[in-house]
Amino acid sequence: MKSELTMPKLRPDMQQGVVVAWLKQPGEPFQKGDAIYEVESDKVVNQIEAERQGKLCRQLVEEGDAVLVGDPVAEVE
């Protein structure tokens, strides 16, 4: 079943983040704890890890895009 990964809220006052790099590509499987992408907020880059195993189906944003907290960044299954 497909679901969406959304931009996480990494700090209480975070409004948006910038997707710096995709570490997994469409079609690539991942395990719980694997880093999927990197987000920059306030000049700090964080790796976003998978909460469960799955496969990246589609990236919905490009590297360098600013995304509001809670907005979708990728489809996974």
Tokens in use for 14?
């975070």
Query: Among the CATH numbers 2.30.30.760, 2.40.50.100, 2.40.30.40, 2.60.40.10, which is that of 3-65?
Result: 2.40.50.100
Predicted confidence (pLDDT) per residue in 8-50, tens digit:
999 999 999 999 999 999 999 999 999 999 999 988 999 999 9
pLDDT band at 1 (very low <50, low <70, confident <90, very high): confident
Rounded CA gap, 25 and 58, in Å?
8
- Predicted local distance difference test score (pLDDT) of residue 43: 84
Domain limits of the chain? 3-65
> How far is the CA of 13 from the CAs of 25, 37, 67, 76, in angstroms?
30, 21, 15, 27
pTM of structure: 0.91
Rounded CA gap, 13 and 58, in Å?
28
Mean pLDDT of 45-56: 96
